[in-house]
A and B are shown apart, each in its own frame.
Chain A
Amino acid sequence: MFPFNFEWIWDMGHTVFMGGLWYALTIIGIGMTYCIIKAAIDASKKNGEHHH
């Protein structure tokens, strides 16, 4: 699944397949990271508000 696995070859099959895969994973990853970071910020803001 990585270019350093020995069965990897730089051909159409690997490019399209793994490209699609990593594209989807990236979107999911970025989306979740965004949600988590934003939630952390929001939570700390709200907490601050509560304290004040």
Chain B
Amino acid sequence: MDSALIPKGVKRCPLWQFLLFIGAVGIVLLWGVYAMLLCWFKGLNQTNMNDYYGFALWIWADLAVIAVGGGAFFTGLLRYIFGKDELKNIINYAVLIGFICYSSALLILAIDIGQPLRGWFIFWHANVHSMLTEVAFCLSCYFGVLTIEYLPLVLENRQIDKVPFFHHLGHNMHEIMAVFAATGAFLSFFHQGSLGGVAGVLFGRPFAYREGVFIWPWTFFLFTWSAAACGPCFTILVTKITEKVTRKKLVKDNAIELLAKISGWMILTYIIAKTVDTWYWATVTAPSKGFTLMEFYSNNALYGIWILVAEILICGYIPAFILITKKGRKNPLGVWIAIILAVIGVCLNRWVMVLQVMAVPVMTFDHWALYYPSWQEVATTILPVAYGVILIAISYRYLPVFPNEAEMNPIEPLPEEAAAIEPSMAPEQELTPAEA
């Protein structure tokens, strides 16, 4: 029924199956939307946040999706600026994942603030000294860039592409994509960094505070670096999951392997820098404020030193060593473990830099504050996941996300389908994947 929209040369499941899947995920989405509306209309009392936990689950989710969405800018950087051509097979998907992550991040922010209708004050009355201002500006701009990067793919839809203007628009945008990618990388560098700066500048919170250079605390660079390192792992992870779900090989191994290798070296360098940072903070910065390292990791029910071990050793060094070795990269299980650990690692880092910061008491007579999210918070946090799954499903079905899919999964076109292809459009249709 929707075969006219499906890219040529690939096979998709029947429409009813597709709709059933969308419907099932849609229910989760609606649940999230309901929670979101509750938060908007009744206020943030719907959450379990409190005056000690002003930043909570959402901000973590926000930081986490931006971190893992970092795959888009870094892959784009490698593809368009450093000319790693192998990555052209995965760049579309990286952009799509990035688009989902960033739109989710913006949505979460819109729910998280107490006065959503005034959210634009962050631009209008911008305080340029605030890391959050930098985040807001760069995040919104980069989301614009991601939209620009995602748009040509949408325009490649068989029906849309029939419109000459859209066809040419997509083509022209491809032509100068390097400019957009470079701008995106610039913006990403700053907002990923600023997100790190959000915690690092809190000089009233010795657990978060870091020294740095000029106005940027070390967390600024560590966040950018970790996003660049672990973002591609998330891209690979989602690609692999998509391959499992579709039961098809969608991206060539050389692209994955290259990305995994670069990611591995990035993770290794990052985690070394993170280790040095942690060491300096634990032995110099925190003690200068009267804290020993273990004070941050004791006297409470959750945050033990395990979390530091998990973040740095298990989810840092292990994936780095797997991915930098050829043997590790060639081992499918090894790659699975490495990318999952790396993604967990970066999410754990964001968790620690948001929630543990709020939990640690600073005044001597204060106490640890632990908090449990309300169902509304959980639902609104799952909402982007459902939204992402749906957008991926739709994009995958109707857009040529994976340029090599047809080549790697050849099918015998059915006679009526072949006849349905308009002769005049057919040559152009074949051109597109090569361009992408």
| Touching chains A and B, CB distance < 8 Å | yes
Q: A5-B124, A39-B169, A46-B168 are in contact. Are A28 and B137 (CB under 8 A)?
A: no
Across the interface, do B176 and A14 meet the contact criterion of CB distance under 8 Å? no
Across the interface, do B134 and A17 meet the contact criterion of CB distance under 8 Å? yes
Across the interface, do A1 and B123 meet the contact criterion of CB distance under 8 Å? yes
* Complex CA distance for A13 and B214, rounded to whole angstroms: 12
A-B contact count (CB 8 A): 68
Across the interface, do B128 and A13 meet the contact criterion of CB distance under 8 Å? yes
**Residues in B109-162 with C-beta less than 8 Å from chain A:** 123-129, 133-134, 137, 141, 144-145, 148
Which of B41-49, B179-187, B244-252 lies at the binding interface? B179-187
Residues of chain A within 8 A of B128, CB atoms compared:
13-14, 17-18
Residues of chain A within 8 A of B168, CB atoms compared:
38-40, 42-43, 46
Q: Is there a chain A Cβ closer than 8 Å to B21's Cβ?
A: no
Q: How many residues of A contact B (CB 8 A)?
A: 25
A38 to chain B, nearest CB (A): 5
A-B contacts, 9 of them at CB < 8 A, read A7-B125, A7-B127, A17-B126, A27-B183, A28-B183, A39-B166, A39-B169, A40-B168, A46-B164
Residues of B within 8 A of A (CB): 123-129, 133-134, 137, 141, 144-145, 148, 164-169, 171-173, 175-176, 179-180, 183, 186-187, 190
**Nearest 8 CB-CB pairings of A with B:** A39-B169, A39-B168, A42-B168, A17-B128, A43-B164, A35-B172, A43-B165, A13-B128
Q: Could you list 7 further interchain pairs (A-B, Cβ under 8 angstroms) beyond the known A31-B176, A31-B180? A: A1-B123, A13-B129, A17-B126, A17-B133, A24-B183, A35-B169, A43-B165
Residues of A within 8 A of B (CB): 1, 5, 7, 13-14, 17-18, 20-21, 24-25, 27-28, 31-32, 34-36, 38-40, 42-43, 46-47
